[in-house]
Structure 1
Amino acid sequence: MSGKKMAYARVSSTSQSLDRQIEELKKYVDESNIIVDKASGKDLNRNGFQALKSPLGLRKGDTLIIKSLDRLSRNKADIKNELEWFKSNHVNLQILDLPTTMIQLPSGQEWIRDMVNNIIIEVMSSIAEQERLTIRQRQKEGIDIAKKQGKHMGRPSLEKPVEWEKYYDMWKRGNISAKKAMEFLNLKKTSFYKLVSEK
């Protein structure tokens, strides 16, 4: 299949590194042709991936290379929809961890590769989704255990300054402006109004 070759790499968060995937993909495409995302695989709302599917992205006859199937998504339904998009748009998808997708067959025999890939991808997409559900369940269990142990989850609660009531009352009565109250209490605007909302 002729056309340009692109590659796509993804990690789930900004704290994770794309280096390992990029090094692998550079064996097949120039680094300038590698599109990256640092975003969860739970859905497809990712800037880099959507750019690949835009009118300026992949076209008929092009090839997209990814390290593994779960770089597309960890949602089974989304994976199936995306594979259908590649097929209907005549974009060749090659997955490094799935060697059968890398095989070049004579014209007219592509159905053999497609048949094998369909079976393997069905299994792998099921595994990817199950891993996502397992991670979510473990996170929930961890939060539940922490709550039972009295540990606070999320951002630490905002403590009221010692003279909060005094300056809050003055502000409420209109004796001082909100800006002055913030100055006296040494609070930022967001912190001040957060405490106000908790009254």
Structure 2
Amino acid sequence: MSETRTYYYARVSTKKQSLDRQLEAFHQLGAEEKYIFADKQSGKNLERTNYQILRNNILRSGDTLVIKSLDRLSRNKLDIKSELEYYKQYGIRVKVIDMPTTMINLEGQEWIIEMVNNIIIEVLSSVAEQERQETRKRQAEGIASARKRGQHLGRQEIDFPPNWFEVYIRWKKKEIRANTAMEILNLKRTTFYKLVNKYEQEDKWNIILMMFDYSSYR
């Protein structure tokens, strides 16, 4: 049976911040430098170089991962939950220094460790769901408030130029090229084709009639 090891992970959000407080806590637990991994990257997601190396290439079943607090894994509650579930699935114990219950050595009483993990995961699920609902509520309130003030939310609607119809028909009848149509309408290429798509979706039957009787509109 291979030897199990304890690894330590520290994280701060920017290069200007210090890892000293976390590293000191690890050293007090007897951590050796070669078993400490650290990142100076945001916790908004899990895409951090040394964390991914530790998680995917170093940690094995039976090993222990020590962190100072849960938010060192991530700022996102759902990410923390998924990581704890991942470690539980692969038999890797997670100890959190700021959560003393997780630090207790309970050899032969692994069911207690499992129970603590399940409670933490359940609590994180509830908190994450609560945060999602609160975010949706704030967004809905913001939209309602903006509408009351008469503000338009989202991308501003693109208006058709006054001479759109005439130029569009000439382009469709191949009397002028697209670049010429854009120049006459003073539109960029992407805007021109967005308006074409919108116009043809909204007025496709009228356009067919117009193509047959263009002379009456000139």
TM-score of Structure 1 vs Structure 2, range by shorter chain: 0.5 to 0.7
Change in 2 beyond 3 A, CA 1:96/1:177 = farther
Is 1:90 the counterpart of 2:84 in the alignment?
no
- The aligned residue for residue 198 of structure 2 is 198
- Per-residue CA deviations over 1:66-116 (Å, capped at 9, x if unaligned) read 64399375459x93x643321121223344653433x25263355545544
Q: Shift in Å at residue 139 of structure 1?
A: 0.6
Cα distance in 1 for partners of 2:85, 2:47 equals: 20
Per mean C-alpha deviation after superposition, the further-off stretch among 129-138 and 155-164 is 155-164
Amino acid in the other structure paired with 1:27: Q
Change in 2 beyond 3 A, CA 1:162/1:62 = farther
Q: Shift in Å at residue 138 of structure 1?
A: 1.6
Q: Any residues of structure 2 matched to 1:1-199 within 5 Å, and which?
A: 2-6=5-9, 18-19=13-14, 23=18, 27-28=22-23, 29-32=36-39, 38=44, 56=57, 58-60=59-61, 61=63, 63=65, 65=67, 67-68=70-71, 71=74, 73-75=76-78, 79=81, 82-95=83-96, 98-101=99-102, 103=103, 105=105, 107-108=107-108, 111-199=111-199
- Per-residue CA deviations over 1:112-154 (Å, capped at 9, x if unaligned) read 4554454355334312321221111221222133234432111
Cα distance in 1 for partners of 2:85, 2:20 equals: 23
Change in 2 beyond 3 A, CA 1:186/1:82 = same
Residue 68 of structure 1 contacts residue 97 of structure 1 at CA under 8 Å; is this kept in 2? no
Residue 65 of structure 2 contacts residue 95 of structure 2 at CA under 8 Å; is this kept in 1? yes
SS in 1 for 2:150: coil
Amino acid in the other structure paired with 1:63: L
Cα distance in 1 for partners of 2:88, 2:94 equals: 9
Residue 163 of structure 2 contacts residue 185 of structure 2 at CA under 8 Å; is this kept in 1? yes
Which structure shows the bigger proportion of residues in helix conformation? 2
Residue 70 of structure 1 contacts residue 128 of structure 1 at CA under 8 Å; is this kept in 2? no
Structure 1 alignment gaps of length 5 or more: 10-17, 40-45
> What count of residue pairs does the alignment treat as equivalent?
180
- The aligned residue for residue 211 of structure 2 is none
Amino acid in the other structure paired with 1:155: R
Change in 2 beyond 3 A, CA 1:183/1:127 = same
State the identity as a percent. Answer: 37
Cα distance in 2 for partners of 1:97, 1:121 equals: 16
After TM superposition, the score normalised by the length of structure 2 is 0.59
Larger Rg over CA atoms: 2
Cα distance in 1 for partners of 2:58, 2:163 equals: 58
Amino acid in the other structure paired with 2:131: E
Q: Shift in Å at residue 2 of structure 1?
A: 1.0
Amino acid in the other structure paired with 1:150: G
Q: Tell me the C-alpha RMSD between the 2 structures.
A: 4.1
Larger RCO (alpha carbons 8 Å, 6+ apart)? 1
Structure 2 alignment gaps of length 5 or more: 24-35, 200-218
Residue 8 of structure 1 contacts residue 64 of structure 1 at CA under 8 Å; is this kept in 2? no
Cα distance in 2 for partners of 1:122, 1:198 equals: 48
After TM superposition, the score normalised by the length of structure 1 is 0.63
